[in-house]
């Protein structure tokens, strides 16, 4: 991990809050970018004893500690998380996915997770999955529930979803003017919510022409002058919305409908020159979660970038391994921030994508070879085998129904 440490970014000499915070963040991060040849033997021994370096002084991903932190989160959350009560499906998804990319068998958690998820379905309040029991259905928590079911990956999990009711829920929240989708009754309409609908519909075999009508045109209209995507037309480009737009277009095989050179330029310039991780918007600070939200885009567009994977993968992985790991387990935004389950999920997802790319580029693992994670799908952010499994399951069901109809006609 002895990569060159870049000099601080130049400024015009007129400090602002933005430039001051950027300089402080660069200093915090580069303090971790030590040349191990200059570190004394006692300190090296301490880092090896802590599991942070292996016998060959290569940086290690703390698999077991991260797994312990994540598994505890499935069983118990501290009182400080009470404000997250409406995000139960998110915690289940974040933790299950982080565990699956770490190579953990998540099947043993299936029964408990299914018991919670099936009680989040909101028939009495209009359909969809809510954030908890007797909470209104919302596209974002529906997305989290459905991804968690896909990760569990059993027919019992898949069949929790009433697909006709889910399709009806989606269609009732389609905005006729834009073709996009609404988060809930009287909720916001944007590209993020539209991604939740399109991704889940394509996994669960309900991606109908009525559902996709106008979606590509809406997403294309959200591309900004910078090249990324905003939540709505004429709004600022942002990492999460850029992922959402690019993932929708990838799922619908429509990436050629937008300005790909501009998108490539945008994502390349969101990787920070000094830190190596990604920022979410122009002139914002690096944040570990954008390791996925922005780090997924090079994988999504890889077939359109003439064989160039538009990311400095070594610098990206250095940021994650040195700046985002907490020695007690769990991953974080940046040095000075606390670990949490959200960042643990998306930092590990970003590390997986940086290692595996689009599945066609050569695997590149920085640090110890033991750092290698399971691959994650850049458009769905679950393991690719789980994507194939669920799509095959519902494709087979549809084929079976077609055969039954033909037999009845005969």
CB neighbours of residue 78 within 10 Å: 8
Residues 30-61: b if buried by 16+ CB within 10 A, e if exposed: bebbeeeeeeeeeeeeebeeeebbbeeebbbb
Domain ranges in the chain? Answer: 64-76+83-161
Structure letter (DSSP) for residue 362: P
Would you list the DSSP string of 198-248?
HHHHHHTT---HHHHTTHHHHHHHTB-TTSSB-SSTTS---HHHHHHHHHH
pLDDT band at 399 (very low <50, low <70, confident <90, very high): confident
pLDDT at 120: 95
Catalytic residues: 238, 281, 284, 287, 289-290, 333, 340, 343
User: 120-154 pLDDT, tens per residue?
Assistant: 999 877 899 999 988 999 999 999 999 999 999 99
Say whether pLDDT at 110 is over 90.
yes
Across 311-338, average pLDDT: 97
| 331 strand-pairing partners | 325, 340
pLDDT band at 5 (very low <50, low <70, confident <90, very high): confident
User: 153-184 pLDDT, tens per residue?
Assistant: 999 999 999 999 999 999 999 999 999 999 99
Share of the chain above pLDDT 90, in %: 86
Whether the CB-CB separation of 319 and 295 falls below 8 Å is answered with no
User: Among candidates 300, 307, 276, 302, which has minimal Cα distance to 290?
Assistant: 276
pLDDT at 84: 86
Whether the CB-CB separation of 139 and 183 falls below 8 Å is answered with yes
pLDDT at 121: 95
CA separation for the pair 45, 34 (Å, rounded): 15
CA separation for the pair 72, 90 (Å, rounded): 15
Provide the angle, in degrees to the nearest 10, between the axes of the packed helices 341-356 and 63-75.
140
User: 86-95 pLDDT, tens per residue?
Assistant: 899 999 999 9
């Amino acid at each position: 991990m002895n990569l060159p440490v870049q000099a601080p970014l130049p400024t015009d000499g007129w400090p602002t809050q933005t430039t001051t915070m950027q300089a402080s963040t660069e200093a915090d991060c580069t303090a971790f970018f030590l040349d191990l040849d200059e570190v004394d033997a006692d300190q090296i021994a301490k880092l090896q004893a802590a599991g942070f370096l292996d016998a060959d002084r290569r940086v290690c991903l703390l698999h077991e500690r991260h797994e312990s932190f994540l598994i505890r989160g499935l069983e118990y959350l501290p009182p400080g998380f009470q404000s997250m009560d409406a995000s139960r499906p998110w915690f289940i998804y974040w933790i299950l996915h982080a565990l699956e990319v770490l190579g953990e068998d998540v099947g043993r958690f299936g029964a408990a997770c299914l018991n919670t998820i099936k009680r989040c379905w909101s028939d009495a309040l209009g359909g969809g999955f809510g954030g908890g029991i007797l909470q209104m259905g919302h596209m974002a928590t529906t997305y989290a529930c459905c991804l968690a079911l896909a990760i569990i990956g059993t027919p019992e999990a898949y069949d929790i979803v009433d697909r006709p009711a889910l399709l009806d829920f989606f269609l009732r929240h389609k905005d006729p003017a834009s073709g996009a989708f609404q988060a809930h009754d009287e909720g916001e309409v944007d590209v993020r919510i539209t991604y939740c609908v399109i991704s889940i519909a394509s996994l669960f075999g309900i991606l109908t022409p009525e559902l996709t009508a106008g979606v590509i045109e809406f997403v294309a209209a959200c591309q900004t002058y910078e090249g990324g995507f905003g939540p709505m037309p004429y709004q600022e480009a942002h990492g999460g919305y850029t992922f959402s737009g690019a993932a929708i277009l990838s799922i619908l095989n429509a990436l050629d409908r937008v300005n790909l050179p501009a998108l490539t330029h945008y994502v390349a310039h969101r990787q920070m020159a000094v830190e190596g991780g990604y920022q979410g918007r122009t002139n914002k600070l690096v944040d570990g979660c954008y390791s996925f939200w922005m780090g997924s885009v090079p994988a999504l567009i890889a077939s359109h970038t003439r064989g160039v994977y538009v990311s400095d993968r070594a610098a990206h992985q250095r940021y994650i391994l040195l700046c985002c790991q907490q020695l007690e387990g769990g991953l974080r935004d940046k040095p000075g921030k606390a670990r949490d389950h959200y960042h643990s999920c998306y930092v590990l997802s970003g590390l997986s994508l940086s290692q595996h790319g689009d599945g066609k580029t050569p695997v590149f693992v920085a640090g110890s070879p033991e750092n290698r994670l399971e691959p994650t799908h850049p458009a769905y952010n679950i393991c690719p085998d789980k994507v194939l499994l669920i799509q095959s399951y519902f494709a087979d069901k549809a084929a079976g129904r077609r055969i039954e109809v033909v037999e009845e006609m005969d």
